[in-house]
Amino acid sequence: MKPKIEELKKRYRVAKTNAELDAIRKEIAELAATDRQEFEKATLSSIKETNERLQEDRLRKRIEDILPAISVSYLAKKYFGKTPQWFYQRLNGNLVNGTEAKFTEDELKTLSTAFLDLSDKIKQSVSFIV
């Protein structure tokens, strides 16, 4: 059922006419009527995945201005013990071994700590200049 919901969701996003939207809504109602519980479960799962993607997009958007100013190699190695490729795979949601790579909650906390630490180091450096 979930693949059908995802397909309907994609069609809904690109629909251009009210007739197309009405047809999609009708298909959704029919799908829901076949197995209400499974429909709700699959819809909730789809919503959660969409929310996760939006959160990842927000992260990318928030740090896109600072990434060129810092060494991702340093960031990845010092704070995660990983390679820059590992970092970018998660940041960009690349497929790794058939699965979309993303930061775990703990990795997001580490990233936040890393940025705060770098910020403190920059502030300390500036205090010696002024």
Contact (Cβ atoms closer than 8 angstroms) between residue 72 and residue 87: yes
Show me where the domains of the chain are located. 1-64, 68-130
pLDDT of 54 strictly over 90: no
Residue 76 has a CB neighbour count (10 Å cut-off) of 19
83-97 tens-digit pLDDT: 999 999 999 989 999
74-125 tens-digit pLDDT: 999 999 999 999 999 999 989 999 998 999 999 999 999 999 999 999 999 8
Q: What are the beta bridge partners of residue 96?
A: 99
Phi, psi for residue 99 in degrees, rounded to 5: -125, 140
In the prediction, which pLDDT does 55 show?
84
11-27 tens-digit pLDDT: 999 999 999 999 999 99
